[in-house]
Amino acid sequence: MGAGRRPLFFFALGLICLLLAPVTPGEFRWVNYSMFGLALFWTIALGLEEVGNLREGEGRNRDGG
C-alpha cells in the first residue's frame, strides 16, 4: 500500500511552509504555521479517504462485483 499523490503533495507543501518560517518576518510567521496546519489537515483527510477507498475496493473484489 503506497501513499497517493494528493496526500504527499500537501505533506510536502506543509514542510515547505515550515522551512520558510525562519526567514519570514516575525509579524507574518503565523501565516507559515497556520498554512502548515491546514496542509497537515488535508494530508490526514485525503490519506484517510484513500485508505477508505482501498478497503471499499477490496470488499468489492472479494464479493465478485
Contacts of 12 (CB under 8 A, 6+ apart): none
Which amino acid belongs to residue 58?
A: E
- What are the extents of the domains in the chain? 3-54
Instruction: Please compute the mean of the pLDDT values over residues 9-28 and round it to a whole number.
Output: 96
pTM to 2 decimal places:
0.76
Pick from 34-38, 47-51, 58-62: least confident: 58-62
**CB 39 within 8 Å of CB 54:** no
Cα of first residue to Cα of last residue in the chain, in angstroms, is: 22
C-alpha cell at 46: 485525503
**What's the Cα-to-Cα distance from 25 to each of 17, 30, 33, 46, 52, rounded to whole Å?**
13, 10, 13, 31, 41
